[in-house]
Chains A and B, each alone.
Chain A
């Protein structure tokens, strides 16, 4: 069965960096793009962008350009999200989500990774 398993919760200080992983199984990793979605505490869902798992090319939503990096370890069927220079407003649960081959609805989601930024 298809699964996306994310790394565990993180507690970081402002200015630090964090790297979240999303390990896929049950399908051919490079056949489907991987997307990232942010959910701040008690708030809604915000699409951050996606990475082409075949070419490795990332695409970022405007609000996530600069400090956010999507990357792959394709040999390990893993997508990563790195956030640098963390700010308090980065405190959120981050989800990876798999789209279809062509369209961006998300039938498969990771369990979410809570990143808490606090001094």
Chain B
């Protein structure tokens, strides 16, 4: 199975800050056939279902604010949230869909400082 390792596990931020969440996969998620990285990011708020933010490592889902930026390739990926707002406080998960079983990172909890 592909292991997804997220860091940090939690992050305390102030509104307006820029934050970076890291996700590392145990094997490359870059498929040579289409040069795409099979990596998605989700946001989950308490008591809610996960919400898709990013797929193909950097493609923003429709309706997601442009302060959410996905980057990276191969085994190392980053979710950057610029100018964090109070509504962004949540747990963020990365997910690989390169192979089954699809696997998620353990999550990064974004909290208020």
Contact = CB atoms under 8 A, between A and B. Distances in A.
Interface of A: 35, 44-47, 49, 59, 61-62, 95, 97, 103-107, 109-112
Q: Which of B52, B93, B105, B107 has the most CB of A within 10 A?
A: B52
A45 B97 contact: no
Q: Which of B40, B102, B105 has the most CB of A within 10 A?
A: B102
Given A104-B97, A105-B95, A47 B52 contact: no
Contacts of B40: 105-106
Interface of B: 38, 40, 42, 44, 49-52, 55, 61, 93, 95, 97, 100-107
A26 to B, nearest CB: 15
A103 B38 contact: yes
Contacts of A59: 100
Contact of B101 (A62, A97, A103, A110): A62
Contacts of B93: 44-45
Contacts of B97: 103-105
Nearest to B96: A104
Contacts of A107: 52, 61
B49 A47 contact: no
A13 to B, nearest CB: 25
A111 B49 contact: yes
B49 A109 contact: yes
Given A106-B50, A109-B49, A45 B101 contact: no
Q: Which of A47, A61, A97 has the most CB of B within 10 A?
A: A47
24 contacts: A44-B93, A44-B105, A44-B107, A45-B93, A45-B95, A45-B104, A45-B107, A59-B100, A61-B100, A61-B101, A62-B101, A95-B50, A103-B38, A103-B97, A104-B100, A105-B55, A106-B42, A106-B50, A106-B52, A107-B52, A107-B61, A109-B50, A109-B51, A112-B49
B101 A44 contact: no
Contacts of A103: 38, 55, 97
